[in-house]
């Protein structure tokens, strides 16, 4: 057992969480998690199903006397986002997550924690193994590849599960019941470019942005945090007049994460090296002032590459197109909801830029709870890419989840929370993509809510879960299963 979870309650939830933290399970690499869950269910003598993409369903019979209660499915996803600090040595394909406990918080050592959505998997496994709980017929749906494309939910068939009441355990604010979510699409670009030899009498240098918080591009998009790609581009454009030539630019890692780090390899004329350093130092102070309250750790650096380093650079025309496109791309909140205070209605995230031998790829993601606004912002981003000379691709996206405030399970969930804690839970919609939207299309009329313990910083190495909130989440979940008729 990991020392970080010794003595924590509820013991079975933390025990399972520690076990699955040792299993690499980034999106697209969930095979070992699938085998682990199927093996656990087999040892418990429970019925299982697995579909063609790797989604797993486990069925647990009702407790004695509860056989005629409506069937409920508990749902969460098996995969996690793999993000790490640049100086952290970690291979997400084979290395376990290193758990670190800091008073009331559980984190990982320099990487994402995977509580999104490992805590749902752990809670489901703990319920599966406990014969003394009171509940009706239960199903446990574990989906794959939620983080990179909601692939598991998209491939569900209408006969995979029986339940028409669903508890999604993929929310991140204890004491809140979510009843709706945004839909989303990705818009990507490709520039094929020609590279030239390094200019004469030039110095090869690296410009780096680091120290940003990043975070989930839905949940943290309204926090005003810095975007490493946009900040880096400001530096590059600001040095164009002194003769900067661009060879490589890369930043971000996941389409659904605000980029925390970015870097570019460039050349500057030897005679302009001091001007370049002075400019970067001034810009660093300016941006630190802009982000003082949201990203106090920002660093912007310019460093010499090894002596004699030869760098191939792109033609000036390509450089201008790419840098001006990045400059023109919107990032952040586009519109707040006029109906629900504090809810982001529409947003866009400039997420990833990467280089290969022949050019550059860029990924962005758009979200909205209003389908027409989602299409509009996707079109805006696509048009900016097109004007910048890029080849544009758009994903099929995923639907939003329309709130149903007359939901029967919502009424039971509110009454259960009131009875336990003497106050009503908050009822919200979320500006992030939950699998509920897709599942609702696959199972018309299904009654759903989403809840979970308190997490912060998901999709970044700052991800943390509050230990005391897990106890309340567990207590509430068991009582809700007991109260559903």
3-state SS record for 350-403: EEEEEEECCEEEEEEEEEECCHHHHHHHHHHHHHHHHHCCCEEEECCCECCECC
Rounded percentage of the chain residues whose pLDDT exceeds 70: 100
| CA angle in degrees (0–180, nearest 5) for 71-72-73 | 130
Residues 82-138 have pLDDT tens digits of 989 888 999 999 999 999 999 999 999 999 999 999 999 999 999 999 999 999 999
Query: Which has the closest alpha carbon to 13: 479, 472, 418, 421?
Result: 472
Please answer whether residues 152 and 53 qualify as being in contact, where contact means their C-beta atoms are separated by less than 8 angstroms.
yes
Reply yes or no on whether 146 is catalytic: yes
Residue 341: pLDDT over 90: no
Q: How many CB atoms lie within 10 A of CB 133?
A: 17
Distance of alpha carbon 45 from its chain centroid, rounded?
Answer: 34
Out of 19, 30, 83, 146, which one is annotated catalytic? 146
The H or E element containing residue 436 is helix 436-442
Name beta bridge partners: 99: 108
Mean pLDDT of the chain: 95
Residue 18: pLDDT over 90: yes
Distance of alpha carbon 483 from its chain centroid, rounded?
Answer: 32
What are the tokens at 401? 């989840």
- With cut-offs at 50, 70 and 90, classify the pLDDT of residue 1: low
Long-range contacts of range 235-239, CB-CB < 8 Å, 24 or more positions apart? 235/207, 235/209, 235/264, 235/279, 235/280, 235/283, 235/300, 235/302, 236/207, 236/264, 236/266, 236/323, 237/323, 237/324, 237/327, 238/279, 238/283, 239/266, 239/268, 239/276, 239/279, 239/280
User: Per-residue pLDDT averaged across 393-422, rounded?
Assistant: 94
**Residue 158 CA neighbour count, 13 Å, CB half:** 7
Statement: the pTM of the whole predicted model exceeds 0.85: no
- Tell me how far apart the alpha carbons of residues 54 and 35 are, in angstroms, rounded to a whole number: 10
Task: Specify the higher pLDDT residue, 219 or 355.
Answer: 355
User: Per-residue pLDDT averaged across 174-187, rounded?
Assistant: 95
Residues 192-209 have pLDDT tens digits of 999 999 999 999 999 999
- Tell me how far apart the alpha carbons of residues 27 and 12 are, in angstroms, rounded to a whole number: 25
- Tell me how far apart the alpha carbons of residues 458 and 108 are, in angstroms, rounded to a whole number: 11
Q: Pick left, alpha or beta for residue 425 (phi over 0 → left; psi -120 to 50 → alpha; otherwise beta).
A: beta
Residue 65: pLDDT over 80: yes
What does the pLDDT read at residue 465? 98
Torsional sign, CA 290, 291, 292, 293: positive
Do β-strands 195-196 and 313-314 pair in parallel, antiparallel, or remain unpaired? antiparallel
Please answer whether residues 156 and 61 qualify as being in contact, where contact means their C-beta atoms are separated by less than 8 angstroms.
no
What does the pLDDT read at residue 93? 95
User: Per-residue pLDDT averaged across 308-318, rounded?
Assistant: 92
What does the pLDDT read at residue 309? 87
Query: Which has the closest alpha carbon to 183: 374, 379, 38?
Result: 374
- With cut-offs at 50, 70 and 90, classify the pLDDT of residue 2: confident
The count of residues in the chain is 485
Phi and psi at 392, nearest 5°, equal -110, 140
E strands within 193-294?
A: 195-196, 202-210, 215-216, 245-251, 257-258, 262-269
Query: Which has the closest alpha carbon to 362: 396, 326, 414, 407?
Result: 326
Q: How many CB atoms lie within 10 A of CB 450?
A: 26
What are the tokens at 93? 């394909």
User: Per-residue pLDDT averaged across 185-195, rounded?
Assistant: 96
What are the tokens at 343? 């809810």
Phi and psi at 77, nearest 5°, equal -110, 150
Out of 79, 147, 263, 284, which one is annotated catalytic? 79
């Amino acid at each position: 057992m990991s020392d970080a979870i010794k003595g924590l309650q509820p013991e079975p939830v933390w025990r399972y969480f520690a076990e699955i933290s040792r299993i690499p399970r980034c999106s697209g690499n969930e095979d070992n998690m699938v085998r682990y869950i199927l093996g656990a269910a087999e040892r418990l003598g429970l019925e299982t199903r697995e579909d063609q993409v790797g989604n797993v369903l486990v069925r647990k019979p009702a407790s004695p006397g509860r056989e005629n209660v409506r069937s409920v499915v508990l749902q969460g996803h098996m995969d996690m986002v793999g993000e790490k600090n640049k100086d952290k040595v970690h291979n997400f394909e084979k290395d376990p997550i290193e758990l670190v406990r800091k008073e009331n918080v559980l984190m990982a050592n320099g990487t994402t924690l995977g509580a999104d959505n490992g805590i749902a998997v752990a809670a489901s496994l703990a319920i599966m193994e406990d014969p003394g709980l009171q509940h009706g017929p239960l199903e446990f749906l574990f989906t794959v590849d939620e983080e990179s494309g909601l692939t598991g939910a998209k491939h569900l068939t209408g006969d995979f599960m029986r339940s028409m009441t669903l508890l999604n355990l993929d929310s991140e604010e204890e004491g809140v019941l979510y009843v709706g979510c945004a839909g989303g699409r990705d818009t990507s670009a490709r520039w094929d470019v020609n590279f030239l030899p390094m200019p004469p009498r030039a110095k090869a240098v690296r410009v780096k942005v680091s120290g940003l918080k990043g975070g989930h591009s839905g949940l943290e998009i309204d926090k005003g945090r810095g975007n490493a790609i946009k900040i880096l581009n400001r530096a590059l454009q600001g040095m164009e007049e002194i003769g900067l030539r661009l060879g490589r630019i890369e930043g971000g890692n996941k389409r659904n994460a605000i980029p925390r780090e970015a870097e570019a390899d460039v050349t500057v004329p030897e005679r302009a090296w001091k001007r370049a350093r002075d400019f970067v130092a001034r810009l660093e102070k300016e941006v630190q002032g802009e982000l003082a309250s949201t990203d106090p750790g920002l660093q912007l650096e310019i460093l010499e590459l090894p002596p004699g380093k030869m760098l191939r650079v792109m033609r000036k025309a390509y450089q201008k197109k790419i840098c001006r496109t990045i400059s023109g791309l919107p990032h952040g909140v586009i519109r707040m909801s006029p109906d629900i205070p504090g809810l982001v209605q529409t947003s866009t995230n400039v997420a990833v830029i990467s280089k290969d031998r022949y050019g550059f790829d860029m990924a962005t993601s758009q979200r909205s709870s209003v389908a027409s606004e989602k299409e509009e912002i996707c079109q805006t981003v696509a048009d900016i890419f097109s004007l910048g000379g890029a080849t544009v691709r758009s994903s099929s996206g995923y639907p939003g989840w329309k709130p149903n405030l007359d939901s029967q399970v919502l009424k039971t969930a509110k009454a259960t929370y009131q009875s336990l804690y003497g106050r009503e839970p908050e009822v919200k919609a979320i500006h992030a993509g939950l699998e509920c939207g897709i599942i609702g299309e696959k199972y018309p009329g299904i009654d759903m809510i989403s809840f979970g313990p308190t997490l912060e910083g998901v999709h970044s190495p700052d991800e943390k879960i509050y230990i005391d909130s897990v106890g309340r989440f567990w207590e509430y979940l068991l009582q809700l299963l007991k109260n559903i008729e």
